[in-house]
């Protein structure tokens, strides 16, 4: 599988964020998208995910289901960790599993792998910022998708959480997946770099 961007241009609020961006990343590979604040790293991930239209250019996927877009092959993990505060950790993950078309199996293994097995029955409202990030990590595991789009994936995680996430990313790549991650710091895995823009927000 190969994800390709050709001539991708992003305009928001009448302002050009980046233009004529080319990139490609294949199965078993990770691409780290770097750049200053406001350069368009998050916007690029949202364009790939199908959440934001590109002004011009194309995002294509080779080797996937021809009836699905690149975004439909992907998990998108943004800055905010989506959850319902009144539901337990387990119930939140079960909701996402069903919503994303998972097999409906028990989510406890995904929670354990993300380091949240001990908090499965805790209302999500009581989670710390790092635990909320771990819940998003578990969502990546509960439903298998080949493309992970990660926006500052290690934000709010302590050293142990960063190590856990790096191990999960490596396992995803080793299993044939690919990763595109917007980041200001090291991911903890080998990745090619795509630096965009120079604007400051």
Given pLDDT bands bounded at 50, 70 and 90, which one contains residue 187?
Answer: confident
pLDDT tens digit sequence for 14-47: 888 999 999 999 999 999 999 888 889 999 999 9
| Helix, strand, coil % over all residues of the chain, rounded to 5 | 30, 25, 40
| DSSP for 97-154, written as a single string | HHHTT------HHHHHHTT-GGGTTSBGGG--HHHHHHHHHHHHHHS--SEEEEESTT
Asked if 49 contacts 68 with a C-beta cutoff of 8 angstroms, the reply is no
Q: Is the predicted pLDDT of residue 169 greater than 80, yes or no?
A: yes
pLDDT confidence of residue 104: 62
pLDDT tens digit sequence for 115-163: 999 999 999 999 999 999 999 999 999 999 999 999 998 888 899 999 9
Domains of the chain as residue ranges with CATH: 2-195 (3.40.50.300)
Token pair belonging to 171: 């396992």
Given pLDDT bands bounded at 50, 70 and 90, which one contains residue 100?
Answer: confident
Share of the chain above pLDDT 70, in %: 97
* Mean pLDDT over each residue of the chain, to the nearest integer: 91
């Amino acid at each position: 599988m190969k994800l390709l961007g050709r001539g991708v241009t992003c305009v928001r609020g009448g302002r050009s964020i980046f233009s004529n961006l080319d990139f490609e990343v294949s199965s078993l590979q990770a691409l780290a998208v770097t750049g200053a604040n406001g350069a368009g790293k998050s916007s690029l991930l949202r364009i790939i995910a199908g959440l934001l239209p590109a002004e011009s250019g194309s995002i294509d996927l080779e080797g996937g289901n021809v009836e699905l877009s690149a975004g439909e092959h992907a998990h998108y993990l943004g800055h905010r960790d989506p959850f319902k505060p009144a539901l337990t950790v387990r119930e939140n993950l079960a909701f996402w599993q069903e919503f994303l078309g998972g097999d409906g199996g028990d989510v406890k293994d995904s929670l354990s792998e993300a380091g949240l097995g001990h908090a499965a029955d805790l209302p999500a409202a009581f989670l710390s910022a790092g635990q909320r990030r771990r819940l998003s990590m578990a969502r990546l595991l509960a439903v298998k998708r080949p493309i992970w789009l990660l926006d500052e994936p290690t934000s709010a995680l302590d050293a142990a959480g960063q190590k856990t996430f790096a191990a999960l990313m490596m396992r995803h790549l080793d299993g044939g997946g690919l990763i595109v991650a917007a980041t200001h710091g090291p991911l903890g895995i080998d990745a090619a770099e795509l630096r965009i823009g120079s604007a400051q927000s």
